Amino acid sequence: MNIAIIISILSLVVSIIALYLTQLTPPKIQCNIGPVVTTFIERPRDGLNSFSTFIFIPTTFINLGSRNGSIFRAAITIHKKGTTYQQFFIQWRDFCSFHKEVGMWGSDEKAHQLSLAGKSTIAKWISFVWDSEPEFVFDEGVYVINFYYWDRKKGNPRKISHEIIIDKNVLSSLEKVRLGESKQLTQIVLDKELDVNKVMTEHEVQKLLGS
């Protein structure tokens, strides 16, 4: 076979592969949340008899494919680690932002289907609200948050899992809000391995950071 024909065939094959990889690959959506979640307890109002627990989660959806994709909905389950008999399932409610003028989180719009162009990302703060019976009350300990997102209309969602630690400081902050002594928002680090601020010796720095 003529060498020129072989080269032409190889070039055509490479072009077809390149076209598929850059233009035709189906949507492949990944999700990252964190590194912190923000929680707030709202006292009963508007005829409600129980407190409402708000969980605000920074979420980034990434479409690694070339074709457009969608996120149809999202939800979380949360339960204390080791006690899966009672899991709280909460669907997304709003896309939110922090309103500096009032010092509170507020809704920008109701949560809705998101469209992602090929090779693109969308970042949102998503609120999840438990305002049903029984009340959702944090205790001291480790909790598992499973984040589910549907990137197709039918079928099971995709899931990512993280843990949060409710220590004495976090619990005290939440209780002050619950008792009406504070309106402070509480931030909790996902999969906490490091303190936000910590004084370390040179040996501890080398062991932790390798430098």
- What are the tens digits of pLDDT across the range 47-75? 666 788 999 999 999 999 988 999 999 99
Domain covering 28-194: architecture: Sandwich (2.60)
Looking at the predicted structure, is the pLDDT value of residue 19 above 60? no
pTM for the whole thing? 0.82
Looking at the predicted structure, is the pLDDT value of residue 85 above 90? no
Q: What is the model's pLDDT at position 182? A: 80
Looking at the predicted structure, is the pLDDT value of residue 30 above 90? yes
Question: Can you give the residue ranges of every domain in the chain?
Answer: 28-194
DSSP letter for 23, please.
I
Both tokens assigned to 13: 């094959």
Q: What is the model's pLDDT at position 54? A: 92
Whether the CB-CB separation of 90 and 79 falls below 8 Å is answered with no
For 19, 25, 80, 85, the CA distances from 66, given in Å and listed in that order, are: 10, 5, 39, 41
Whether the CB-CB separation of 82 and 143 falls below 8 Å is answered with no
The arithmetic mean of pLDDT across residues 114-122, rounded, is: 94
**Residue 203 and residue 183: Cα distance in Å, rounded?**
40
Whether the CB-CB separation of 4 and 131 falls below 8 Å is answered with no
